[in-house]
């Protein structure tokens, strides 16, 4: 009987440690792909951070391509340059943006750049397009299905020259 309280304390300690380990493991999961859509007067820009290795694996899934779950098929025998060309083509041709019911033609603004985000290797793509609207009212965005989930934030910058020591109130 004297060991029972000790056994109970050990079980409780084990449970607490297990919960802590599970919580820290879930905090280090890979984040989804993310996009920042910047809607300025006359121009739209998309900054897209992608787990490129995961994206390429999804594009190498022949069954996914045959069933329409991905936008293209990348053969494992393709060279690095061919894979890059194919992924850029998928990105540009399957990213759709509509501003005020007008479809925008996107172009690759800047070549892909590797970046490290919280210890994860991501690739940044930048797409852009001019648009004729001085005050856009609606925005619709579609990314290639092969990217998987994409966390999107939309930004409409406000610009104001402020003199030294001056306060300006921004309204939204």
What pLDDT, in 10s, does the model give residues 75-134? 888 888 899 899 999 999 999 999 999 999 999 976 666 665 555 678 999 999 999 988
Question: Per the domain annotation, does 172 fall within a domain?
Answer: no
Per residue in 49-72, pLDDT tens?
999 999 999 898 888 778 877 778
Query: For position 172, what pLDDT does the model report?
Result: 74
Report the CATH number that the domain containing residue 56 is assigned in CATH. 2.40.30
User: The whole model's pTM is what?
Assistant: 0.72
Nearest to 37 by CA among 111, 147, 142: 142
Question: Per the domain annotation, does 143 fall within a domain?
Answer: yes
Which tokens sit at 112? Answer: 């892909």
Question: Per the domain annotation, does 136 fall within a domain?
Answer: yes
- DSSP code of 30? P
CB 102 within 8 A of CB 151: no
Question: Per the domain annotation, does 20 fall within a domain?
Answer: no
The boundaries of the domain holding residue 60 are 30-155
Query: For position 47, what pLDDT does the model report?
Result: 95
Number of structural domains in the chain: 1
How many whole angstroms separate alpha carbon 117 and alpha carbon 122? Answer: 7
Question: Per the domain annotation, does 107 fall within a domain?
Answer: yes
Q: Which residues contact 52 (CB under 8 A, 6 or more apart)?
A: 87, 112, 121, 122, 123
> What is the H or E stretch that residue 34 is in?
strand 33-40
């Amino acid at each position: 009987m004297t060991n029972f309280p000790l056994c109970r304390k050990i079980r409780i300690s084990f449970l607490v440690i297990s919960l802590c380990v599970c919580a820290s493991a879930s905090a280090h999961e890979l984040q989804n792909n993310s996009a920042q859509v910047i809607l300025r007067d006359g121009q739209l820009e998309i900054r897209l951070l992608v787990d490129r290795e995961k994206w390429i694996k999804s594009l190498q899934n022949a069954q996914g391509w045959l069933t329409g779950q991905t936008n293209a098929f990348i053969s494992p025998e393709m060279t690095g340059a061919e894979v890059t060309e194919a992924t850029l083509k998928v990105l540009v041709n399957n990213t759709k943006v509509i501003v005020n019911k007008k479809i925008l033609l996107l172009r690759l603004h800047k070549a892909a750049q590797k970046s490290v985000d919280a210890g994860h290797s991501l690739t940044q793509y930048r797409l852009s397009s001019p648009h004729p609207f001085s005050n856009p009212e609606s925005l619709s965005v579609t990314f290639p299905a092969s990217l998987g989930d994409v966390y999107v934030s939309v930004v409409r910058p406000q610009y104001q020259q402020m003199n030294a020591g001056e306060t300006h109130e921004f309204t939204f």
